[in-house]
A and B are shown apart, each in its own frame.
Chain A
């Protein structure tokens, strides 16, 4: 069988024009599919950045919340009520909001402010510079060193700025796992300072972070929080909720799906048609092989091998091209939201398999139909 597949390989790659067209079709199809889905995956990850960075096992929020920046503040009694639920180890408030920072040169820069519980500082980031205790110092803020960091003029420790007519001082520089989606720098401070410095509504608690005594307590906590009229979600559930919101309740998911389908159709059209033409042009050769003594199934294996080989080569090239482009884009545009995940790769692989199957199916039908007698009589 190996020799027959070598023969199939040579018949394929020695037809350089057709083989190149086949590769280009599959490569660009995979490239577009991976590019679209990676961008979407990047957006989804960044949309959950605060949830990922702060951590916390269970988040309590208003049921209307479907994106982290759209928090609906909750009254203080909710925190007390959550703390009294059986199975709660501890519960702390979290402030999440937007503010305008006035830099030294007078330029205003929008920022995201995260206010951590004053007592525990639960959800604090890992510091690159400074010490965490300095967050309690007068006007202390910790800035996150991510892609948006330069927008605050690459602040150093001790840099001063103005936030809603209050003085702010950078007392620490931190790193986080994921950058935010909306291109704003992130500042951490204490919960009380956040609600004092930033204009807010009557209620101030954006989220309550809950640590259960054990995982088995989570269901009970959720039930009790629901009785209060609020929603408790695990960290992963909240990320999924945010993703689902972007996928199904905004145009982003639909557009990505459409582009992915279009990429697939383009790939299928180019590769399918080229492969079918390749088979048609080689039909007499397949017929000659049949006349010499090749069995029908051996010709089927040859065609399947040719389709699979082209598709896998195109898949590899497409992935490589996407990776190069994403890497190059991230070098120039640090906030570029794109992330190649195993799901993206799996989806592209599945679509490539469909392209290969459809392409080879049409060819196999033709090859099985040809009679050696047609070849013999010329």
Chain B
């Protein structure tokens, strides 16, 4: 996969109009490479999640452009953006957003079901990815029967089951203890990150910084600097 995974140019997002306008992200430009695990860090309200949303096709920027694998994301129609999220992105939400009325395997299978794969095939694939995250024996349990760390791994399995090129994690360790958080991120880096995948992680948990390739620092909606981490 030649070229940059993400090219964001002068991306801005504001809320409110005229005098009441408040910038969440102000003219942010950066690139992310394939095979890179890029952290976006900064204090609360610095615009990390808003920026991540604009990069992942969830929130339309007011100005600027986002190119994913050389495709201008926000020139696409709403349906095309939904398809982009479904086929190119994998999401791990801060609160996981697992479905308590479905089994763990059914939760993991959701992206495949939305891709209109057959129910049985989706469940088979989900079982395979549950095995990848070490939860093969929990396939038939509802997520409410799992620990926080296990739920996090289910969310990761759901994010990767359809083999997306990009993964976004929003505060993946926010509800986990230090050891579990480190184990999860270490697992993501060693097992999920590949040379053909780009992972963006929004966090302010300094305990997991050691696993990053690069750290992008944000404050007041702007990038204030980059730090290099390990490389793949």
Name A's B-contacting residues (CB within 8 A): 1-4, 6-7, 10-11, 14-15, 284-285, 287-296, 298, 371-373, 375-378
Say yes or no: B97 contacts A3, CB within 8 Å: no
A52→B114 CA distance, assembly (Å): 59
Known: A4-B114, A11-B99, A292-B110. 14 other contacts (CB 8 A): A4-B113, A4-B116, A7-B113, A14-B101, A14-B102, A285-B97, A292-B86, A293-B111, A295-B79, A298-B114, A372-B85, A376-B53, A377-B49, A377-B50
Q: Contacts A4-B114, A298-B114 given: A293-B106 contact, CB under 8 Å?
A: no
Name B's A-contacting residues (CB within 8 A): 49-50, 52-53, 58-59, 78-79, 82-87, 89, 91, 93-95, 97, 99, 101-102, 106, 110-111, 113-114, 116-119, 122, 170
- By a CB distance below 8 angstroms, the chain A residues around B122 are 3
Question: Smallest CB–CB gap between A364 and chain B, Å?
Answer: 17
Say yes or no: A10 contacts B101, CB within 8 Å: yes
Nearest B-chain residue to A10, judged by Cβ:
B102
Say yes or no: A289 contacts B110, CB within 8 Å: yes
Question: Smallest CB–CB gap between B45 and chain A, Å?
Answer: 11
Say yes or no: A291 contacts B93, CB within 8 Å: yes
Q: Which of B49, B86, B110 has the most CB of A within 10 A?
A: B110
Nearest B-chain residue to A13, judged by Cβ:
B101
Say yes or no: A291 contacts B87, CB within 8 Å: no
A146→B106 CA distance, assembly (Å): 60
- By a CB distance below 8 angstroms, the chain B residues around A295 are 79, 82
Say yes or no: A293 contacts B95, CB within 8 Å: no
Nearest B-chain residue to A293, judged by Cβ:
B86
Q: Contacts A373-B58, A376-B93 given: A292-B79 contact, CB under 8 Å?
A: no
Main secondary structure, interface of B, reads helix
Q: Contacts A7-B113, A285-B97, A378-B93 given: A373-B53 contact, CB under 8 Å?
A: yes
Nearest B-chain residue to A1, judged by Cβ:
B116
Say yes or no: B85 contacts A293, CB within 8 Å: yes
A295→B116 CA distance, assembly (Å): 12
- By a CB distance below 8 angstroms, the chain B residues around A3 are 113, 116-119, 122
- By a CB distance below 8 angstroms, the chain A residues around B118 are 3
- By a CB distance below 8 angstroms, the chain A residues around B116 are 1, 3-4
Question: Smallest CB–CB gap between A138 and chain B, Å?
Answer: 80
Contact of A285 among B52, B59, B99 (CB under 8 A): B99
Say yes or no: A7 contacts B101, CB within 8 Å: no
- By a CB distance below 8 angstroms, the chain A residues around B91 are 291-292, 376
A294→B84 CA distance, assembly (Å): 11
- By a CB distance below 8 angstroms, the chain A residues around B86 are 292-294
Question: Smallest CB–CB gap between A106 and chain B, Å?
Answer: 71
Q: Which of A15, A376, A377 has the most CB of B within 10 A?
A: A376
Say yes or no: B82 contacts A294, CB within 8 Å: yes
Q: Contacts A288-B93, A376-B53 given: A10-B83 contact, CB under 8 Å?
A: no
A2→B121 CA distance, assembly (Å): 13
Give 30 A-B contacts (CB < 8 Å), ordered by A residue: A2-B119, A3-B117, A3-B118, A3-B122, A7-B106, A7-B110, A10-B101, A10-B102, A11-B101, A14-B101, A15-B101, A285-B99, A288-B97, A288-B99, A289-B110, A289-B114, A291-B85, A291-B97, A292-B85, A292-B86, A292-B91, A293-B86, A293-B114, A294-B82, A298-B114, A371-B59, A372-B53, A376-B53, A377-B49, A378-B94
